[in-house]
Structure 1
Amino acid sequence: MRPKTRLPHSYRADPAVPDFDDRYTVVVMDGDCAICSATARRIARLDRADRIRICTAQSPLGQGLLGHFGLNPDDPDSWLLLENGEARGSLDAMIALFPRLHRGFSPLKLLRVLPIGAQDWLYARIARNRYHFGKTDLCAMPDPELQRRLLP
């Protein structure tokens, strides 16, 4: 699911969104998903420029941001990348983020040739089956690098 298009930084005026340091790129993901937990740890390991912060969809900030952009925190399709005040979701967010973290993810850019509907379909297949890979608590005993990046 794609986030609603809004003016950049519009969430600052939304009382449902707690204040946070938006100088960083923020990724909102499911805190109970084993795939998301592994993804968060990979982001923490690869983000050598220290420009990314991670927030769970279950947190007050995650709930507020997802709601602001018209996404349901309980929907497995809700994966949000917030950068420079603008939101991206689903596979589009991953294509934008991961190739910047490591050139090994550059082939992801090829997925941009797929129509938006096909991208969303592909992401939804993975997201809706994510618990087949297990459940875990993203915030349970994270390593210090991940802990430092977690937003409340």
Structure 2
Amino acid sequence: MADRLGFTLARLGLSVSARLHTAMAVTGLKPRQCLAVMRLAEGPLNQLDLARELDVDPSVLVAVLNDLENRDLATRRRAPEDRRRHIVEITERGRAVVADLHHAIDTVEHDLFADLAPADLTRLAGLLDRLGKTEDAPCSED
């Protein structure tokens, strides 16, 4: 099976996913909540766009955001130009959690890529980007 790249990639993906889940657990958040708060650290977004970016059903995102709001990691407010829409923003406490997440993920990535040269990492990133463009199955974590 060593010559089956798909299986090798899947096995490695499961291993990396498990390591990242363990690292993210330091925050007490689930992976989807981590992704949401990390995306919100890049700037506010309306709720529908956030659902699209995270590739989740809007009803699923409501539950994620409820949990983030209950933990004071994110807030929702009505968009002034369209009261039917919600703008989602990260809180200061959320920014602290994102800093912890980045530190935990950096540690996993440092260990994972320790034997690769910078040129190898650049090439790997390019190859993974190309593979990602052919993917059509949604992410099904949590």
* TM-score relative to the length of structure 2: 0.31
Higher relative contact order (CA 8 A, sep 6+): 1
Higher Cα radius of gyration? 2
Higher helix share: 2
* TM-score relative to the length of structure 1: 0.30
